[in-house]
Structure 1
């Protein structure tokens, strides 16, 4: 069936879905199009909040149903593993920039922002990018790499 997802800004997205899918699976489809992690999505249909484990059919969705998306930006904890193999727990919002995370690491561990090279998965994190753009979420582990000294 086709489902229409609308956000608070009036943007809409048409998605093909199977009514036997869970709400969480629908959120994953929304993430692939709009880059909003499932943890930051609140979906509602007919004034009722949709629960992640419920099937779309049990929620009452059918062909051309419109689901409303609320984007929430709650704080989450991420782990930063330092060069000294110490793990820091840092509270961030996923819409924050990588630079803001580096500033929090500096406040907590005293490591200068310009000395931090952070990686997540195979990506080196760029200061001006949002944490969510790398797929970072609650309890993600970010690794600090050493800077090569020039000679």
Structure 2
């Protein structure tokens, strides 16, 4: 399987978006969002990467069980409350925090990538803590952006 430039750019942008939100760095957030806005294929890979990391974070939760709702832990909710976001994104993020189900809102690709990125970071913070989450994201980014 070959990896396209759009795929690498989208996956890297998703990780940069997540790292930007975790570090509360508006310039990093804007740069990562801009990368996704430049190309629909890049935006799709960005959304796919963030969605996959959200799934991974849900499954990494030591309290996860396929027999009950995947409600986000208090540390993740506390982190989310510190992040400014537009109303539609906030509604979708809170839906994901409640049970892990994909939100049924009419959002564009950029909004969905942001929803998945914020949700994944919040769930990672709940499982790994802030520093552990940054380390986790940095490690994944080094693989994605590799040589």
Q: TM-score per shorter chain, which class? A: under 0.3
TM-score (norm 1): 0.21
Please state which structure has a larger fraction of its residues in helix: 2
Using CA pairs under 8 Å that are at least 6 residues apart, name the structure with larger relative contact order, 1 or 2.
Answer: 2
Please state which structure has a larger fraction of its residues in strand: 1
TM-score (norm 2): 0.21
